[in-house]
């Protein structure tokens, strides 16, 4: 005679537990949404710390105290950035302001170039740009106030990111060691090894990318200065900033750089600038980028493109910036899980 267990009864306590959990999840999502600027700063601070991590580790392995190692890495970097700001910001501001003021004139000059004229006739690109500039020029006060507020926010954010990066480097290892205490004793050593591997992938990629983008900005900025382009500083900075975005960043910057070079310095200078950019792209794609990705990511090109698409879709430009290092860290984690499963299967089969 078979007996069936009685159906489980849903009690009032179960209902209240479900409601409390749902409410807690909703409140957590609302808090994360409200704190999203701070979360962005924390993420950028963490990635900046990982970029400087190898240099700090190099010094600590040579018996430097960690505090002095962080100071020795960050202080020269801050002095360099501060010196560059004091030296180039006035020139950058002047060139950027003049570039904005001359935008309609430069658009007209670009029209003289045959392929651009054909594209404009097909898609009315220049007319759309002219209308956008005219609409913005009609209301100056509000954009000026928004720009001033954006500058203050950017300065505050930059200071916060640097301070967070210093704190991550100073105390992050201690926080991680405390977090490991929640794991079973037999898994703590493996967790530390896995975290170190993931950190090496991310820090190596970030440091290599910063070096490559700096080289690209210097190369194109110097080229434009020799060609007599009056806006070589903001355009070189544009190349440096957009170069951080993998795959498409330097291509987007190239259109602006080459187009403005044609408009301001003539067709000969424009072709030379385009040639230098193409030559540099070959060096970057076949020498510099493979060095970084071979030593760090070791990722299939299809996975790189998919990671970029997902990151961009989820978080825009920030997602594009962090997509590859995050994907690299996840790849290390998945490879470790797969290796442990294979080892467990082999032990079971033997």
Q: Which of 178, 175, 179, 262 is nearest to 227 (CA)?
A: 262
The answer to whether residue 30 sits within a structural domain is no
Structure tokens at 100: 């904005």
Residue 13 lies in a domain: no
Q: Which run of H or of E encompasses 305?
A: helix 301-349
How would residue 242 be classed by pLDDT, with cut points 50, 70 and 90? Answer: confident
Question: Within a 10 A sphere around the Cβ of 106, how many other Cβ atoms?
Answer: 17
CA distance 247 to 306: 12
Domain count, the chain: 1
Indicate whether 23 belongs to any domain.
Answer: no
Rounded CA separation 124/120 (Å): 5
- Helix and strand numbers (H, E) in the chain are 13, 0
Percent of the chain with pLDDT over 70: 73
What pLDDT is recorded for position 105? 66
- Domain membership of residue 104 (yes or no) is yes
Closest CA to 222 of 210, 209, 239, 207: 239
Which tokens hold the place of 92?
């950058």
More confident site: 304 or 197? 197
What tens digit of pLDDT does each residue of 148-166 get? Answer: 555 566 667 778 888 888 8
Q: Which of 53, 42, 41, 40 is nearest to 319 (CA)?
A: 40
Q: Which residue bears the tokens 């082999």? A: 346
Burial pattern 206-220, b for ≥16 Cβ within 10 A else e, equals bbbbbebbebbbebb
Q: Does residue 9 register a pLDDT over 60?
A: yes
Q: How confident is the model at residue 106 (pLDDT cuts 50, 70, 90)?
A: low
The span from the CA of 263 to the CA of 270, in Å, is 8
- What is d(CA 69, CA 66) in angstroms, rounded to the nearest whole number? 5
pLDDT level of residue 138 (50, 70, 90 thresholds): very low
Round the average pLDDT of the chain to a whole number and report it.
77
More confident site: 291 or 48: 48
In a domain, 46, yes or no: yes
Does a structural domain hold residue 141? no
Question: Does residue 134 register a pLDDT over 60?
Answer: no
- Buried b or exposed e, range 297-328, using 16+ CB within 10 angstroms: bebeeeebeebbeebbeebeeebbbbbbbbbb
In this prediction, residue 339 carries a pLDDT of 85
What is the CA angle 219-260-154, rounded to 5?
70
pTM greater than 0.85 (yes/no): no
Range with the poorest average pLDDT among 104-113, 187-196, 201-210, 227-236: 104-113
Please report whether residue 22 resides in a domain. Answer: no
In a domain, 132, yes or no: yes
pLDDT of the residue at 260? 82
Residue 288's domain spans which residues?
36-136+146-340
Residue showing tokens 């430097």: 64
**What whole-number distance in Å separates Cα of residue 327 and Cα of residue 329?**
5
């Amino acid at each position: 005679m078979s007996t069936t267990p009685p159906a489980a009864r849903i009690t009032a306590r179960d209902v209240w537990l479900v409601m409390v959990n749902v409410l807690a999840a909703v409140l957590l999502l609302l808090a994360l949404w409200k704190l999203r600027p701070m979360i962005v700063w924390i993420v950028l601070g963490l990635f900046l710390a990982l970029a400087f991590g190898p240099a700090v580790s190099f010094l600590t392995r040579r018996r430097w105290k960690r505090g002095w190692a962080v100071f020795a890495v960050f202080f020269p970097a801050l002095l360099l950035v501060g010196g560059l700001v004091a030296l180039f910001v006035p020139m950058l501001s002047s060139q950027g302001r003049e570039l904005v003021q001359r935008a309609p004139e430069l658009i007209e000059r670009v029209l003289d170039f045959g392929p651009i004229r054909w594209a404009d006739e097909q898609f009315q690109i220049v007319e759309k740009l002219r209308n956008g500039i005219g609409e913005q020029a009609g209301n100056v006060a509000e954009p000026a106030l928004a720009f001033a507020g954006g500058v203050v926010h950017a300065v505050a954010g930059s200071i916060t990111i640097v301070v967070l990066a210093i704190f991550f480097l100073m105390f992050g290892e201690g926080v991680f060691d405390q977090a490991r205490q929640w794991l079973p004793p037999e898994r703590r050593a493996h967790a530390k090894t896995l975290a170190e591997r993931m950190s090496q992938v991310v820090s190596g990629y970030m440091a290599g990318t910063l070096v490559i983008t700096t080289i690209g900005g210097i190369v194109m900025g110097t080229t434009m200065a020799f060609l007599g382009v009056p806006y070589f500083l903001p355009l070189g900075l544009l190349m440096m900033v957009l170069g951080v975005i993998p795959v498409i960043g330097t291509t987007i910057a190239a259109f602006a750089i080459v187009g403005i070079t044609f408009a301001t310095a003539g067709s000969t200078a424009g072709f030379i600038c385009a040639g230098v950019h193409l030559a540099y792209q070959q060096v970057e794609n076949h020498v510099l980028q493979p060095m970084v990705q071979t030593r760090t990511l070791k990722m299939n090109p299809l996975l790189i493109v998919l990671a970029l698409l997902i990151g961009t879709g989820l978080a825009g430009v920030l997602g594009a910036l962090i997509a590859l290092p995050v994907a690299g860290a996840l790849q290390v984690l998945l490879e470790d899980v797969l290796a442990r499963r294979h080892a467990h299967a082999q032990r079971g089969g033997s």
